[in-house]
Each structure stands twice: as structure tokens, then as C-alpha cells.
Chain A
């Protein structure tokens, strides 16, 4: 059957069926380059489970800004291996049951090729079996729980940013040698706070300091006065492990009770993330923290990559309705997690879920170099536990702004692996 036949009106059912059969057969038996080209026309389907409602909604929306920014940049540059990236977002409602259900949908119904996301650690942990059963690579982008890459590590789970033990290793020498030998740790009394407390207590002791006491405050405690009154005695510094409203409450109420005048304050970077600086006001003055990213441009962080990342992220945060927010570590880790996946896909020539093993092999030991894709510097995604080690930034809050005190290269934040893949 030719176009000429069609013109003559000689189209019969038999001829149409025959032509279709020939076409289908040709497609199946066609040489590899053509099939490859056909496959290339399909976008990579990347799923992302984020908390867009519920208690972590603000953080989830901020995280999504970073992820969308990376996807848009990739698509603008021609996609990955010539294929566009389609981002499929699911709201986990900040609840593990919903998160699990939404991830099931992403994996079984939306047929995602890989996943980048996860904000709350309990949801990240709850979803691990779904990715494992369906052999989908899961690039987590915010979840901090230590066990994700230690006791509960998993072949399909990758964490392309830091965790408490590596932050503690990077920060402890500064705490002990430059701020004081004797420390008191106050922490949010739940799993993240507890595991972070243990990591810092170990490292402070390991560097010749001592921890004279610890105090756990239940999550969501509005009136912290009864707890804060227990913080007294002879020590040099108060180390804080809080985030969100708890850190705002602690800083405000602790300052009112005179703790800031009495002791030096240091803590996890989550205490002073950019998005909550307006609420902390001048009470966060003098706080020394550690983080993988803070919006500061003191040398050596005065790089064109960090400037470009900051400028674009600020614009996008504004568009997302987060007017006064500067990009924080959640924007950064989502941005870089997507770029790490891109690098892995390029390296492995990953075409879809069937190639997950190849993608895992490419991601294991992946070295990321400081660039527009990885503005926060060089990093390594370790093969043994799928945990990344990144450059850490030690900063001090002065006049409502971050001031760089030191940067610690990723090599000095590396801790021994504690993972056995099943």
C-alpha cells in the first residue's frame, strides 16, 4: 500500500492490517539506534514525595523550589542524554501512612524511573520497602536520620548530603579548641535530637572536651521555662539541637532567662536556617553553627556558582510566595540531589527502571566537583553506605547575618561506614 493507493481510494481492511503488521514488525526488529532514538523521546519520569501539607508543609515547599530549579535547568540544557525530565510531585501530608501510599502510587501507577525527595525521616524510613520491592533508586533529599545510611541502610537508598556524625566530626574541633572545653547539650527529645546529641557528645569528648549535662525538651513544647531553668552550672558553652518552632522558642525564651549572657551558644545549623531568621531576630546574635549550606559569600564561598544558585533560588522562592526567605539547606540539598542523579544517569546510560543496577553502580563512589550543578563544593557519595561527605561551613550570626568562620573539606568530615547491605 502506497500513498498512491490511498489517493486512488484502494484502501481495504486487509491492506491496512497488513501495513500495520509490517510497521509493527519493523519497529520491533528495527536496528538499535532507531529503538534508542524512540526511547529517547520519552522523558525521564522522576517522582518526588514532599510534605506540601501538614506540619512540615513550609519546609516541603521550600525543598520543592530547589528540586524544580534543578529540573528546569536540566531541561533548559537539553535534558539528560537527550531526554527531558518530567517531575511528578506527590504530597505526603507530613504523615507516614499517606507518604507510603503516595510513593506506592508514584512507583506502581506513575511508573517513575527514579525518586528524588523525602523530607521527614519517619516517612523516608516508611517508604524504603516500596523502593526496594520495586527496585527504584531513591535519592533522598532532606531526611536526616542517621540510620538511613547506617543500621537501616539499603542498596536503593542514597543520601547525597551530610548527616549528624559527619557534621559533629567537622564541628567538634572548633567547639573545643576555639569556644570552650565544657559543654551542655540541649536537644529536641526525639530520635533526630537524640542521635545528634550522641554524635556531638562523642566528638566533643574525642577532641578533649567534656559534656557536663544534657537536657531533652519534648518536641512542640511552647513554654520551655520549666526546662530552661534546669540549665545551670559551670560550663563554657550551650549546644542546641532544635529546628523549626522549637528552636525559635528556645532562643527567645533562653535569651529572656539570661542564658545567652551566661554561656556561649552553638548548635546544629537547623537552629538558624535562613527561613526562620526573621522570627529569631537579634536574639540569635553570637550563635555559632555548622551547616552544609548557608547563604554567605565570604571567601572561599564567594564563587560564581554560589552567587548564581542564590540569585535564582531567591527569585523562585519569591514566586512560590516565600517573599523574605533566603535559600536554605533544604533548597540546596534538593537541587544538588537531582544533579547527582543526573550525573549518575549520564554515567550509567540509564534508560529506565530496568537499568537500576547500572545506576546504583554509577552512583556508588560518585565524585561531584564544585560547579554550577554542585555549588556548595566537592563531595563524595561513598560506595560502602551510600552516604555523601560534603564541605561543612562553620558560621557565626552577627547583626542578623551569617559570617563565615571556617570551612571544613569533606575529607575531614568523613566517619567510618556502619552499613551492611542486605
Chain B
């Protein structure tokens, strides 16, 4: 039975990836674009799972990492002629990683609620700077820019049609998932899980806890920044709303709905939440947040392990 588990996992994985590859070919344009967006939010949710699910640290700073990734890419796309995808990607990752290193340095000495509050404060600082520094960031209006081509100089250059963009995003999300999966299963990932289970004991064994936590925050911030770059590419704008802490709250909700500590769960949570919101908003126009909220409360009470945990339990029955 145990030998069959990897086979079942990889078969399921291949089927899901194949369905996602085919989705823009069969879905109407709006829904095809929606799936791409879900993948991006899913990547952001997955990045925060490194902290919430694997290290036991609830971060409200992910909006800052996501937003800085977005702004980093935006600056480069506005400044380079012709706009370069790879430079935008590098700038976004660099901005997010620098912010994550800064936040990690100060916040990882703290635990639980104190860590959460510190990350929230840092995200608000970034938000206020971006919101008021209009000359550089466009302030409340943000930045708008053109989408670059998917190109490798001298080899090929491809226009980012919705379909090409979808496959590009899918490739990055799949690679990110595989990489994060490998990391969480590595000895480093085991130490993170050990910190989550019993920080004092992990320290007693001799692991430098703060250093591990710092790397976890930076890793998480880096992937959040990557999601920010992808969002900027898809939507051609960067806005301060994405740096506001409310976005971090939504990411925590994606994790809780999908199932923390699973990597796939948060993607599932993001998909469920966004689809639910989209579906209900069509029937209840401005009142749809009421049923969304009620459903979220019901899920927390009746499915505390999230959708994935519930599915696992149901399958094992």
C-alpha cells in the first residue's frame, strides 16, 4: 500500500497539470483568465504556508512581499526599453527578498502573536511609504505599464497572449511547488517542522532557531514576491492596495480553507475562495460577502483541517 502512494500522487499530479494546461483551450476567455489568476494567488498562499503550516508562524507581512515583487517588476518594466521580462522578474524577486530579509531580521526574534503583529506593522510601513511617495510609486493610483514579450534574446520572442501567459504562470507555479515540496521534505524542512512542534526542544537539540526562521521568512517572501511579479505581468498594474495588510489576511484565509502544512491545500483554498466569491457576487451583487463570511465560519468550525484535510479523512474512511 505504501509503495503505491507515490504512484497515486504523481498520477494525480500529472492529471491536474494536464487539466490546467488544457484549461485555456476549452474554457471561455473570462474563466481561462480566472484560472490563471487563481494560480497566482495560489502561489502566494503556498508561499505563506512555509511559515504558517511548516514553521508555525502566522505572517501578516505577505502583502508587503507580494506588493514589493509587483512594484519591483513595475519599475523595471517602466524604465527599460523595450521592457524586459527577465529583468522585471529579477527586480521583483530582489525587492521582495530584500524586504523579507529586513522584516525577518527584526521579527524572527519574536514568537506567536508578537511575530504576527511585527510583520503586520512592517507591511503597514511599506504600505504608507508606497501610498504617499507618489513621485516614485504613483501613490494611490499605482503604476501602469505594458506587458513585455516572452523572449530570450537571439533565440525567440513571443507575445504574451492570455494563453501563453497562462502556460508561463502554470510552469512557474508547478516548478515552485516542486521546489517547495523538495525543501519541506529536506532536513531543513524537517527542522522547520520541529520548530513548529516544539521550539524550545529544537533549540535544546542545538539548532540555531533564529537563523532557520530567518531563512524561512526570506524563502516565503521570495515566493510571495514571485507571485507579485506574475500578478503584475497579468494585470499590467501595481497598486498600493496589494501591500495593505488585508491582503495578508486573505492569504491566511486561503491557508485555513485549503488546509495548512500541505502546500497544495492553500492553492485549493485560494481557488475555492475566489470561485465562491465570484459565484456568489453574481447572485447577491453587493451582499455576497455575507454568505462568504458565513461559509468561512462554518468551514472553520466543521472542517478545521481545511478542504484537503477533510478530503483525506473522507478518502481514508
State the A residues within 8 Å of B (CB).
Answer: 52-53, 57, 89, 91, 95-97, 100-101, 104-105, 108-109, 121-122, 125-126, 128-129, 145, 147, 152, 189-192, 194, 216, 218-219
Contact = CB atoms under 8 A, between A and B. Distances in A.
B235 A100 contact: yes
A125 B142 contact: yes
A190 B132 CA distance: 5
A152 B132 contact: no
B contact patch SS: helix
Given A52-B286, A89-B285, A96-B239, A152 B144 contact: yes
A89 B282 CA distance: 10
Contact of B134 (A108, A125, A191): A191
Chain B interface size band reads 20 to 34
Most chain B beta-carbon contacts within 10 A, residue among A97, A109, A192: A97
Contacts of A91: 281, 285-286
B293 interface: no
B262 to A, nearest CB: 25
Given A97-B242, A192-B140, A125 B237 contact: yes
A53 B286 CA distance: 6
B151 interface: no
B236 interface: yes
Interface of B: 28-30, 33-34, 37, 128, 131-132, 134, 138-142, 144, 235-237, 239-242, 278, 281, 285-286, 289
Contacts of B132: 189-190, 216, 218
Nearest to A128: B144
A221 to B, nearest CB: 11
A108 B30 CA distance: 6
A21 to B, nearest CB: 29
Nearest to A107: B30
Contacts of A97: 235, 239, 241-242
Given A96-B142, A108-B28, A218-B131, 5 more contacts: A91-B281, A95-B241, A125-B141, A190-B132, A190-B134
A148 B29 CA distance: 27
B29 A147 contact: no
Nearest to B146: A129
Given A52-B286, A125-B237, A189-B132, A109 B142 contact: no
Nearest to B284: A91
Contacts of B34: 101
Contacts of B241: 95-97, 122
B33 A104 contact: yes
B188 to A, nearest CB: 33
Contacts of B30: 104-105, 108-109
Nearest to A102: B281
B131 A219 contact: yes
Nearest to B246: A95
9 contacts: A52-B285, A57-B286, A108-B28, A121-B141, A125-B142, A128-B144, A129-B144, A129-B236, A216-B132
A128 B142 CA distance: 13
Contacts of A96: 142, 237, 239, 241
